[in-house]
Structure 1
Amino acid sequence: MTTTAVRLTALRRTYRDVTALDGVDLGFRAGSFTAVMGPSGSGKSTLLQCAAGLDRPTGGRVEIDGTDLGALSERRLTLLRRDRIGFVFQAFNLLPSLTAAQNVALPLRLAGRRPARAEVRAALARVGLADRARHRPGEMSGGQQQRVAIARALITRPAVLFGDEPTGALDTTTSRDVLRMLRELVDRDGQTIIMVTHDPVAASFADRVVFLVDGRVAGELTAPTAEAVAGRMAGLESPERAAC
């Protein structure tokens, strides 16, 4: 039986007189990899932040593993984000004075847990960096730093890993290496991943691409190719559509 890791129902988010999300209904299957795309200002990052509990929606409902985030107090929401949600940003956000292992262990230490060395090494091994545990960020490439950031997000074994342009700061070759690793996390470990990207090639690593325009779902592709994604994006960004 297929389970839904994340469910968005009639999701709305407004900022003063600007509507960033306008009644979004989406489900994300557990163990799947979804890319979210759309023109600039379409609501991609807002959707990700609301779905991950980083921002409170104006209306509608967000459920993660069947838990309604809107029904949680700030304290309980913070605990859920800490234990059940992983988030990776375009910037690596590693502490430069800490080793890779210490950066990965940080979420557990902030939660008052003393992480086992084997637990941290296992998280680094999942992203192919078992031999870099003692290196600091300045001693690693950009791709390796992003892998450490992903290991840090995975250390709590989250239900969902969210990525906001996680390969946006990387060169093409390194970006593809990180995307292949994300694909492997889904295929090998059953990790659920939801990723915002502007790159059709990055989106082609996903099982499904959801397109947003003006805060609304504007269609989707399954088993996407880079060419099909690029063609759909060109249609969404065409002058004729922009003039509508």
Structure 2
Amino acid sequence: MTTTLQIHHAVELWSATRRYGAGEQAVTALDQVSVGFAPASFTAVMGPSGSGKSTLLHCAAGLDRVTAGRVLIDGVELTPLSEKALTRLRRERVGFVFQAFNLVGALTAEQNVELPLRLAGRRAQRGQVRAMLQEVGLADRAGHRPSELSGGQQQRVAIARALVTRPAVLFADEPTGALDNTASREVLRLLRSAVDRHAQTVVMVTHDPLAAAHADRVLFLADGVIVDELREPRGAEQIAARMAHLETRDV
């Protein structure tokens, strides 16, 4: 199944293909995928292990280059960009949240949130960083280092860091994978709030139907192809049923 693209997407993939290796040993991880992610939308990407969901995220985010096809972020095509220009685009227009948090251990929560601005050569506006920490409920932890924070608090700092530049899109790769249920719910609430309150675009790879139920749309991948889609899912049970069908379709 191929999703029809519309105009004015935060992210677009056109016949995006990613192959690894060459000749008979070549593996196609993404196979001519065309899909768009609209502004102010929350999309979850699901699929069995090896389905290509992480490859889709990495190619869409400019962390990996497609072998064929096109990828655009905020209207800018990635293919012709040099590595320097691609790095600049990611810093200015893309936010990332990973399962492992990826905070800098030597920096405080406030310094971690400010880091993307500093790397982009931008000066934080007065109160901007503290406001982001306030938004994720950690204003009183601004001076704490990651080792002094719980896993859920670290992920909330990572979300504040990803959103401080107001990127065109925030990519989240299994953002609740290392968290307990309470911390997971808070992280998902913050991602949902970023979409609803700030018109942020969020694309999240997850294996968890409960996490995917927070999204407006769920894409299902298998063998590098989008094979199913749910819009406005009616809860985790519906998503889990679709996943179960996907995992048994070739059995």
Cα deviation, residue 2, structure 1: 7.5
Matches within 5 A, 1:24-35: 24-35=33-44
The answer for the alignment partner of 2:92 in structure 1 is 83
TM-score normalised by the chain length of structure 2: 0.92
Cα deviation, residue 95, structure 1: 1.7
Task: State the SS of the aligned residue for 1:228.
Answer: helix
1:197 equivalent among 198, 206, 217: 206
Cα deviation, residue 222, structure 1: 1.0
Bigger CA drift: 135-144 or 34-43? 135-144
Residue-pair matches, total: 241
Task: State the SS of the aligned residue for 1:227.
Answer: helix
Per-residue CA distance 1:63-101 (angstroms, 9 max, x = gap):
111111112222111110000000111001112221100
The answer for the alignment partner of 2:9 in structure 1 is 4
Q: Which amino acid aligns with 2:250?
A: A
Distance 1:85 1:103 in 2: 16
1:140 correspondence with 2:149? yes
Cα deviation, residue 113, structure 1: 3.3
The answer for the alignment partner of 1:22 in structure 2 is 31
Q: Share of identical aligned residues, percent?
A: 68
Task: State the SS of the aligned residue for 1:123.
Answer: helix
Q: Which amino acid aligns with 1:242?
A: D
Bigger CA drift: 207-216 or 63-72? 63-72
Task: State the SS of the aligned residue for 1:182.
Answer: helix
1:182 equivalent among 191, 203, 220: 191
Structure 1: any 5+ residue segments left out of the alignment?
none
Are the counterparts in 2 of residues 163 and 196 from structure 1 also a CA contact under 8 Å? Answer: yes
Task: State the SS of the aligned residue for 1:237.
Answer: helix
Q: Which amino acid aligns with 1:9?
A: W
1:242 equivalent among 234, 244, 250: 250
Distance 1:201 1:2 in 2: 30
Are the counterparts in 1 of residues 45 and 53 from structure 2 also a CA contact under 8 Å? Answer: yes
Are the counterparts in 1 of residues 91 and 119 from structure 2 also a CA contact under 8 Å? Answer: no
Structure 2: any 5+ residue segments left out of the alignment?
1-5
Bigger CA drift: 68-77 or 162-171? 68-77
The answer for the alignment partner of 1:219 in structure 2 is 228
The answer for the alignment partner of 1:108 in structure 2 is 117
Distance 1:242 1:125 in 2: 48
Q: Which amino acid aligns with 2:185?
A: R
